[in-house]
Amino acid sequence: MCSDVFGTPFSSDSISSAVHSTQLHYGGSSRYKGTNVVIPNGSIDPWHALGKYTSTDGSVVWYLINGTAHCADMYPASVSDKPGLTKMRSIIERNLGLWLSKSPNPYKNVVTAEAWTKPQEQTPLKGTEREVAPKHPIELSKMARSLGYCSKFPKWIRNKKMHLGRPPHGFLPPPEKARVVADRPLGYETGYFLQTVDHFDNQNPNTFLQRYYKNTQWARPGGPNFLMIGGEGPLTSRWVLNGNITYLSWAQKFGATVYALEHRYYGNSIVGG
């Protein structure tokens, strides 16, 4: 499917090579060295088998949500939620409290049974792989043009319509509208900033304008920053304005400034556009 949608350079061999290079560069899930992180996995996601399910650091919490998707914990609670989904939200909220406390990692003195050192040489993504990176919006792919689709995502009307093997809004649908434009708080803003095109090539000076949203209406002095990274679709202001969304309810509780960053190649964050 990748070759049909994005062209013949995206073969199984090139994708496998790119994955190998990325794992060599960052260490892969088994060699993850971060701390203070919760990693939800959803059992109905085909890719949940690739998730992280081991850790020698107690502050790295993984969890498999049975019967739902990995993004479901981001939406408001409902009576139809699976028990594991309710538990997942509680796990995240508890850990947020720990991270923002005076002792963010209560496991920091635990001696790990396994140590790892990064390879002396780390291979960045190859130049040939960078050359085949998309230069246009994903919806203008080869398959979309051959089928005569429009240049914009189809209007989403809450049905199950698929577009190029995925919902037209991406795998993370937008939340309900919480406000009209006139009611946006004083702490709301949106704009663009210069983003690096290729983080793997320090000799590439190219940049593009990436869209962001920000809301400070719940922020308290010394409060944390909450950042949401957009999924495979255009991002909207709802992700920083709808106070019923799970992470925004936590922003209200912990006094956070919230940011949402649109995924490159989608919406208004077009590389080379």
Q: pLDDT for 22-65, tens place per residue?
A: 888 888 888 888 899 999 999 999 889 888 999 888 899 999 99
Burial annotation 35-58 (CB, 10 A radius, 16+ → b, else e) = ebebbbbbeebeebeebeeebebe
Q: Which of 117, 122, 110, 115 shows the shortest CA–CA distance to 59?
A: 110
Average pLDDT in the 151-173 region?
53
Which band of pLDDT confidence, cut at 50, 70 and 90, is reported for residue 135? low
**How far is it, in rounded angstroms, from Cα 254 to Cα 94?**
12
Residue 140 is predicted with a pLDDT of 42
4 or 1, greater pLDDT: 4
161 or 79, greater pLDDT: 79
Residue 169 is predicted with a pLDDT of 54
**How far is it, in rounded angstroms, from Cα 183 to Cα 176?**
15
Lowest mean per-residue pLDDT among 51-65, 97-111, 258-272 = 97-111
**How far is it, in rounded angstroms, from Cα 251 to Cα 215?**
10
Which band of pLDDT confidence, cut at 50, 70 and 90, is reported for residue 171? low
Residue 122 is predicted with a pLDDT of 44
155 or 236, greater pLDDT: 236
Which residues, 6+ apart, have CB-to-CB distance to 10 below 8 Å? 2, 3, 132
The mean predicted confidence, pLDDT, of the chain is 79
Q: Please give the span between the terminal C-alpha atoms of the chain, in angstroms, as a whole number.
A: 25
Residue 128 is predicted with a pLDDT of 40
262 CB burial (10 A radius; 0-12, 13-18, 19+) = buried
